[in-house]
Every structure is written in C-alpha cells, then in structure tokens.
Structure 1
Amino acid sequence: MNRIVEPVALGEVIQAFSADTLIIAIDAILPVRAIGKTVKASSKYRQIASSIAEIGLVEPPVVCRDRQAGSYLLLDGHLRVEALKELGHMDVECLLSTDDEAFTYNKRISRLSPIQEQRMIAKAIERNVSKEAIAKALCINVRSLVRKATLIDGICEEAVGLLKDKICPLAVFDVLRKMNPIRQIEAAELLINANNYSVSYATAILAGTPQAQLADSTTPKRMKGMTAEALARMEGELSRLQQSITSIQETYGEDHLHLTVVKGYLAKLVGNPKVARYLEERQPEFLSEFRNIVQMTSTLPAD
C-alpha cells in the first residue's frame, strides 16, 4: 500500500523564476551564443525587430545572475535583445531565472501552425486592428496578410480541425480548396497518415481525385505535364492506396495487441534453456527468428 505523504514533508517548492521582472541594462546582459550575420538577415529576425518596433516587447527575455556582480547571463531571447540594441534601447524588462538551465525555454516550443496563425490574425482584425498595423508588426505586406487571414476560406470545418496543428505550406490549402468537402477530409487524412504536408504531395492527391469530387466538377481537370490517361491511372492507384490504409487502420490495434502477446510468449519460450537447446538442435532458423521478434522494439522497418 502506498504511504500518504503530507505536503509539509515534501519541503518548500522552489520557484523557477523570481516573482517580479527586472529592468536590466542591455550592456549588463551577456549572451551565451553569438548572433551571426546570416541570422540577422533572416526573415524571423526581421519579423521580431518589426514587431518590437511596432507594438513593443511582448515576451521578456530570460536571464540568470552571473558570478560577476552586476551582470546577467542571457538564457532565452537572443534575437529580441539584439533587435532592441539595433533599435536603440538601453535597457529591457527581463524574467529572472533561479538557475542557468535553458533547456525548457522557447527553443523547445512547437512552431505556430498556419491555421493557428490565421485565427490570431482574424481575431485581431475583428478587434478593429488595421491590416496595415498587423502587416507591419509581422513584417509582411498587406497582400500576404490578407492571404493568411483568408487561409481557411473554402475549407470545410472537419479538414480545418484535422490540420489545425500541422505545419502546412499555405499553398496546400490552395490545393485543398479545389476539392469538395468530403474529398478535403480524405486528403487531410492522407497528408496526416503519410506525415507529408508538402505541396507536391497535396498536388498528387489532387491529381488522383475523381472529377466528381472536385469543387468545380464541370471543368475538366488539367495537370501540367500529365495526360488524361495518366490522371486516370493516378486516380485508380490513389483509390487503392486509400482503401489499403483504411483496412490497416481498422485492424492495427488488434494486430498490435496480438503481436505484443506473441512477443511475450516467445520471450518465455526462448528463455527456457531446454526449449532453446531443443530448437537450436532441431530448428535453428526458428530460434533465430523467435529471438529477433523478442528483441524487436518497433514494428516500423529499419532505415
């Protein structure tokens, strides 16, 4: 029986950050890595600098006290601090960490997906923030902003739900928009199952889509460099592939359970010295395969 431990017995919980932020002179902050010229020329850096110039610093950098009095080590926020320097700022509001561990900061956080970005932009527009101001903060032109804001127009809710946290190129949604809602859902599932969100793969799915499942079923489907016969062949192959994937998905759980049970049984079998010796003398190829199954850690093929 587990013993109940009183909260007092666990001792005081140590906070990871101090309760208040600190205003620190930028010259007193020591970066733990250098920012190269290529990084400064990147679109990410330009976007950060533009955002700070337009709306100010949203997320404070994270620092910890250095052994040298009056100085701080910069754990997270190198690009933000560098952008502040270039913009002429002398100090910055920082979060003070109680240790020098940088493993859990923003570099480990997942990137924002296009659909999540679209929802944030759409919400800002609904709150009467001008498109010009949003575009300036994101360091993009208004035309690109409008494209991001209307990203899911013409995409059914079910497909949006499937792709809401996936990092898809914007052009993938242009391809999905050419399909009817049912086919959009099927295409989104194919993208997820293959873990491939490239425009070329989405285009291949479009090429294999029957005419009746297109958004405009009256206009003949045309793909650059492909004949009508090749398109018809792709439709048939993609249909068979989809049926195979569906069949595997239906039985995957049960098959995996059977394999786990078999693996456990074979582990006991080859672990028995008498059985192992018998198999080695009479059926060595079986013993070799049984041991391979027991040692298997994944059902995926080796690279």
Structure 2
Amino acid sequence: MRPGHPQHLAQAFEGSTLRIAISDIFPLRQIKPEVRKSVKYLQIEASIREVGIIEPPVVVRDPEDSEKFRLLDGHLRLEILTANGETEVVCLIATEDEAYTYNRRVSRIAIIQEHRMILQAVKRGVPEERLARALNVNIQSIRKKRKLLVGICDEVAELLRDKHVPLNAFAQLRKLKPMRQIAAAEMMVAMNRYSTGYVESIVAATPDDQLIEPKQPSKLGLTSEQVDLMTEESARLERDFKAIEQSYGADHLDLVLATAYIASLLDNARVVRHLAMHHADLLGEFQKIAELQKAA
C-alpha cells in the first residue's frame, strides 16, 4: 500500500449474518395502512411467499442492549413477515447506526437489471409462471421483459443500465436506427427524462432515414412542414445538449463554490446587518440560496 493511504478500512457490516427474533428488532418508522395496498408492497409480499427473503433486512445493535436491534433497511419485508406469522429473520448487521444511506442513497433495481436477472433465472430452469408469481405480475409482462433488449443496441443498454425506464419506452427506441437510438438515450440521460411520452417525442422528431420504418401519416393532422420543423428543433436541441454537457462540470463547480461563499457571508453578522440596511432585496435572495444549500 502506498504511503499516505489508510492502512485499514472499517467494515460496514459484521462478518456474518444473524438469525434474530423479530420481537428484538425495532423499526425506525411505522408502515401506513395505504402502503399495504401499494404495488410495491404486494410485489414484495408475493416474492416472499414464493421464494422467501432474497435481500436480508439491515439492522444495527442497540447501544444500550447489544441483544436488541434497530431496523435500518427492510421495513416492508419485516412487516410482511410479521403479518405472515414469522417469528425470526436472518439479518445483515451494520456497524454504523445511520439509515440515511438506505433511505436516500441505495439504488433500487432498474428495468435492464431486472431483465438480466430474469434471463439468468430462466437459464437456470426457473419457470416463467413462478417468476410471474414471485414478482406479482402477469406472465406476459415476464415475457416482454425477457425480450427487453431485442432490437436495442449495446451502447443504449449500457447508457440506460441503471435507469428506471418504462417498458413501453423501449418499444419506441426500437423504431430508431442504432445511431439515432444512441442519440436518443444520451438525450434521455442528459435531461433525466425517461417517460414513454418523452421517447415518443424524440421518435416523432426523427427524420425517416434514421427510422427502421418510415413514419405513418400523422394521426394528429400534422403537416409535413410541421414535422420538418420538429425535426430541425430536435437537431438543435441535440447540439445544445452536447454544448451543455461539455461545460456542465465546470459550471456545477462554480455554482457550488459560489453557494458556499454566500453561505459563509451570511454567517458574518456585520455583513448581514449591512445588507439588511442597504441591500435588503439582495439579502433575501442570498438567504434563499443558502436555504437551498442546506436542503440539498
């Protein structure tokens, strides 16, 4: 290890899982009645019923009693197990008492990741019917997800691998030739917009020579001139995206530094007093910026 580097990294979890009595685990929040009717809750419930717990809940030892535990992640799983009459559950034991990572920073599975998991499960001999029951979806949905990347180029699959993209958006992307697919995916990522409607608008503004099949006559009654105008606007937006992408990092750094500087000014009572007396409008705007920094 090179000089100046830490000699030891603290482990985030204890070395092994532990089977814990559910009565010894204390949730950080209560599950609201309406959550129990949600799609997410029903999917987790179906998965547990069909294949058991896949992702163990995460707990941390209570500082007052090492035999008791606080639940950091897995509130729905624990609620479902309790409702099913289970009395114990295997858990991961975290070494730090912080739920922020689990509540705000853990990425949930994206559709391309789900597609690859389904392919792997089918390859291992898991019937489609069982997968459908485990995910609480109909079998047609499983079959569509199996074929998710048919007609999608590898570069697009890589760009969208961890994005939450609707199933029908991929049907729209398949209408585009590979280079246009890549450009569309780049626009989706740049704008952080993944809805089917947004992809449909990209397809609508795509010239025929970049489509797998030429456009059908517009059902909305658009003239060829209007379609050409949309195409030109789309091309202009693409150029703008590229320009913004090139300067985004530097611009973002400038904004972060400026925001931090404004926050430091507002920590100085003399500066605040001067602004209040002579530039009250600026003070109000500075305070808004500082509040945004605190909320970020």
Place the TM-score, normalised by the shorter chain, in its bin: 0.7 to 0.9
Partner amino acid for 2:46? S
Tell me the residue number matched to 1:109.
106
Deviation larger for 104-113 or 55-64: 104-113
Among candidates 143, 146, 154, match of residue 146 of structure 1: 143
SS in 1 for 2:85: coil
* CA displacement at 1:221 relative to structure 2: 4.7
**In structure 2, what is the equivalent of residue 31 of structure 1?**
27
How big is the shift at 1:125?
1.3
Q: Which amino acid aligns with 1:132?
A: E
Partner of 2:61: 65
Query: Where does 1:1-303 land on structure 2 (aligned, <5 Å)?
Result: 7=7, 15-66=11-62, 67=64, 71-105=68-102, 107-217=104-214, 220-224=216-220, 226-246=222-242, 248=243, 252=247
User: Which stretches in structure 1 are left out of the alignment for 5+ residues?
Assistant: 261-303
* Shift in CA distance, 120/250, structure 1 to aligned 2, threshold 3 Å: closer
Closer/same/farther in 2, CA of residues 61 and 209 from structure 1, 3 Å limit: same
Q: Percent identity?
A: 43
CA offset at residue 138 of structure 1? 1.0
- RMSD over aligned CA atoms reads 3.2
1:82: how far off? Answer: 0.6
Distance 2:59 2:241 in 1: 49
The 1:25/1:178 distance shift into structure 2, 3 A limit, reads same
The CA deviation at 1:162 is: 2.0
Using the TM superposition, give the Cα deviation of residue 195 of structure 1 relative to its aligned residue in structure 2, in angstroms.
2.4
- 1:207–1:223 Cα contact (<8 Å) kept: no
Distance 2:92 2:235 in 1: 54
Distance 1:4 1:95 in 2: 32
How far does the alpha carbon of each residue in 1:170-201 deviate from its partner, in whole angstroms, 9 at most, with x for none? 22111111122222122112222222222222
Secondary structure of the structure 2 residue equivalent to 1:75: strand
Which amino acid counterpart does residue 42 of structure 1 have in structure 2? S
> Are the counterparts in 1 of residues 43 and 135 from structure 2 also a CA contact under 8 Å?
yes
2:190/2:245 contact within 8 Å kept: no
Normalising by structure 2, report the TM-score: 0.74
Note if contact 2:57-2:74 (Cα within 8 Å) is conserved in structure 1. Answer: yes
Report the 3-state secondary structure (helix = DSSP H, G, I; strand = E; otherwise coil) of the residue aligned with 2:100: coil
1:93 CA displacement: 1.4
Which amino acid is 2:16 matched to? Answer: D
* Superposition TM-score, scaled by structure 1 size: 0.72
